[in-house]
Each structure stands twice: as C-alpha cells, then as structure tokens.
Amino acid sequence: AETSMAFTSAMLVELFRVMKPDSHMYMFVGAEFSCYWTCMLSNLKVTFEPGKPPIYDVLEKDRPWKFNVRNVPLIWVKEGGGYTDHEFKIMPRHEEILFCTKGSKRLNYAVDDVFVYNRPLSTERIHPHQKSVDLYKEFIKVSSLSNEVVLDPAMGSGVAIVASILTGRRAIGFEKDKEAYLKAEDWIKGIKILEEEEE
C-alpha cells in the first residue's frame, strides 16, 4: 500500500503538469483513504483537537501544484459487494470518487453526486477492478466536449479509453502491467472496429 501511495503521489505532480488549465479529474479512492487524498491533492494539513473544529494549514509551503477537491466524494453505487467472508464483514455496495479541478471549469450539465451503475458481469471482465463503461461515459460527458482528450494514467482494463471512443473523445492511456495492457488493447481495437462499421 505504501509503494502504491508513493507512486500515486509522484504521478500526481506530472498529472497536474500535463493537464489543461481549467480541467477536471476523477480519482477512485478507498473510503479509508478519502480524507488523506483530499488533503494531499488540496495541499492541506488538517489538525484535530477534541471539542474544537478542524484546523487547516498548508501541507507544503512551496509546492507549485494543488487541485481544488470537492469536500464530499462522489458515490458510485453498485449492485453488490464482493467479499467471500460475508458472514463476518458488511459488504460494501459503493465506491468513492474524488472530484478534482485544475483551475475552474463548469460542468456541461447538472448532475448529482450519486451514480448508480452495475459493474460489468464477472464473465465479461478483463481486469479484476474493471469499472462500468456507462459510469465513465457519464463523467466524460459532464466534463469534456467532443474531440477533446481524456487521459487515464493507470488504465487497467482500458474502460476510460473505451468510454472516450463511445462518446466521441480522443484518449491517451498508460498501464504498467503488460498482461492488462494487452487485454485492454484488444478490447479497444474491437470497439474501434465496431464504431467504424457503424459509420
């Protein structure tokens, strides 16, 4: 977990650099890390004292980057949890997503903060953490325009790239796991062929 968090922290610096001014970012986080990443992205340090409101301060004084982060995460409600030891654990039915902005950008239309979309069927998944294409399409449509570029620096199954193609955007994706990358590449090529056949 520490290695993953260090990698993500380093990647955020580069992400901020390459993102266009006035653009949006969606970041899936475990609920237990939501506060940590909100503070990290916003360059804030929070101190708690019993009986007092939280005290906010700057995390790194000379840091050249910071995102504006919605203080309450977006919620993706799924069809059910995935624990095998459900007799001992309450199964989660949702994931949290941090909504971040570099600069200031309007949404393309009004949307609330709870998104209800089923996960892909287990028989259709090419990656263990594969997200819903329709969920990604919603994020892309609310935050970008036709032919704009969507970036996914940890694309896993390639779902963000597929959703970008289906909504008429261009996309760039990276994946360090070679097996996952090759599976994603096949899926993306198949979607492109279907799109070309329909035109």
pLDDT digits (tens, 9 = 90+) for 41-84: 999 999 989 999 989 999 999 898 999 999 999 999 998 666 66
Dihedral of alpha carbons 145, 149, 153, 158, sign: positive
- The whole-number average pLDDT for the span 123-133 is 89
Please state, in angstroms and rounded to a whole number, the distance separating the CA atoms of residues 3 and 27: 18
Query: 28 and 111: one domain?
Result: yes
Over 90: is that where the pLDDT of 178 sits?
Answer: yes
Instruction: Give me 78's structure tokens.
Output: 């799924």
Please state, in angstroms and rounded to a whole number, the distance separating the CA atoms of residues 36 and 116: 25
pLDDT of residue 21: 95
Query: 66 and 100: one domain?
Result: yes
The answer to whether position 27 is within a domain reads yes
Please state, in angstroms and rounded to a whole number, the distance separating the CA atoms of residues 25 and 160: 12
pLDDT of residue 3: 73
Query: 1 and 71: one domain?
Result: yes
Full domain range(s) for residue 26: 1-116
pLDDT, one tens digit per residue, over 94-118 is 999 999 999 999 999 999 999 999 9
The CATH number for 184's domain is 3.40.50.150
Pairing state between β 23-29 and 94-102: antiparallel
State pTM to two decimals. Answer: 0.89
The SS3 of residue 50 is coil
Query: 142 and 66: one domain?
Result: no
